[in-house]
Amino acid sequence: MNTEHDNLAEAVQNLADAIRDLEASEMSLDELSEGIPALTELSDLVEYGRLAMVGEFDRRGGADVTAHTSTTSWLKDRCGMSGATAREKVRVARALRGMPGTDGAFREGEFGYSHVRELARASTDHPEVYRAHEQTLIDVAGNLSVRDLRRALDHWRQNLDGPGVLDELEEQYGRRRLWVSETFEGMVRVDGDLDPETAHPIQVAIDAICDRDARASADDDRTPAQKRADALSEVCRQWLDTADTPTIAGERPHLDVLVDIEVLTGCRDGTTETADGRVVHPEGARRVGCDAAVSRMIFSGNSEPLDVGRRTRVVPAAMRRALVARDRGCCFPGCDRPARWTDAHHIIHWSKGGPTKLANLVLLCRRHHRKVHEGRWRV
């Protein structure tokens, strides 16, 4: 007797086979014009099913079983999603658990995922009021484009009879978020939402640098967006150069660029990477090196102390730099936490005779470091 899971798996396989056999170049224009909306509707229905399963997986704590830090981390590892996409799916899936009317309308195809995403955001911001207004908002959403729905929800938020101004400001502050993630093109995308108070000093600093540059040169051919990007980078660089920044493993945070000495000096071609694995052009490394400390890192031979033996369990700063260069981040399977969020873990514990040297060290994020020491996992 087939189970619900068996039926779903069979249907998915049949649909996948049909799509793989699709030859769009052989279809007529009428077939294309009918097929595109049909597949879009199907795509939204598939998205509904995925969100329902993600929500249930999250509710049951499925990520804990595989020692992932969160459902978001699990989606990134198992489904190949970007961090931003995985976070969005989890956010919407969680919201839908408290939006029965919206969930039903989505399942019946009254609107698509893009509409649900906007409604989920409204529900997350004002859950009690949303529940009271849910049917009205569903009716409105079914007749509006995504852009118009977003505008309508903005007006809805501004006219709510509920929290006072201070409560609204506090809610805005609680919704602040910032993402820094790599794109498929090798760029780094900076995206997020900031409340006015958090955003104000950022805007002032960026505007001040842009104004300074505009006065300094009338021949600047950068676009306004490029000027703002350069200004943000300059603000961060200036912060890293100050003496009162917090430390990581005893050192102030700094820009780590890993480059072979022959590549740095231009004696041969080669690749260059930052400590977190982003590939940069050798000229970028040379440009950074014009005004930076250059640290020699040799994995064999005598240089900075990469093996301090049994003298201390504390990992020296030089050895941590070598660990970062080797591991790049948490080494637990499926974890992508960057090196700055990790601890240096002794594979054979120092108290049991393990030396403090590279061969006995590995980077683990705080969560997985704790799990290893609890005895549930072993390196």
* Pairs from 373-376 (Cβ < 8 Å, separation ≥ 24): 376/67
Provide mean pLDDT across the span 186-207: 86
pLDDT score, position 104 = 95
Residue 243 reports pLDDT greater than 80 = no
User: Residue 303's pLDDT band (boundaries 50, 70, 90)?
Assistant: very low
Q: Which residue has the tokens 């609107």?
A: 111
Return the residue matching tokens 């408290």. 98
Looking at residue 169, its pLDDT comes to: 65
The ranges assigned to domains in the chain are 34-162, 179-241, 244-294, 297-379
pLDDT digits (tens, 9 = 90+) for 15-61: 788 888 888 888 899 988 998 998 888 889 999 999 999 999 999 99
Cα–Cα dist 291/38, whole Å: 58
Length of the chain as a residue count: 379
Predicted confidence (pLDDT) at residue 162 exceeds the cutoff of 70: no
C-alpha dihedral, 159 to 161 to 163 to 165, nearest 10°: 40
- Region 194-205 average pLDDT: 84
**Comparison of pLDDT for 112 and 367, the residue scoring more:** 112
Residue 186 has pLDDT above 90, yes or no: no
**Tokens 């480059």 — which residue?**
259
Q: Is the pLDDT of residue 150 over 60?
A: yes
91-95, 276-280, 289-293, 356-360: the lowest-pLDDT one: 289-293
Provide the Cα torsion 120, 126, 132, 137; round to 10°.
-40
The answer to whether 353 and 336 have CB atoms below 8 angstroms apart is no
Among residues of the chain, what percentage have pLDDT more than 70?
A: 78
Q: Is the pLDDT of residue 356 over 50?
A: yes
Mean pLDDT of 234-241: 80
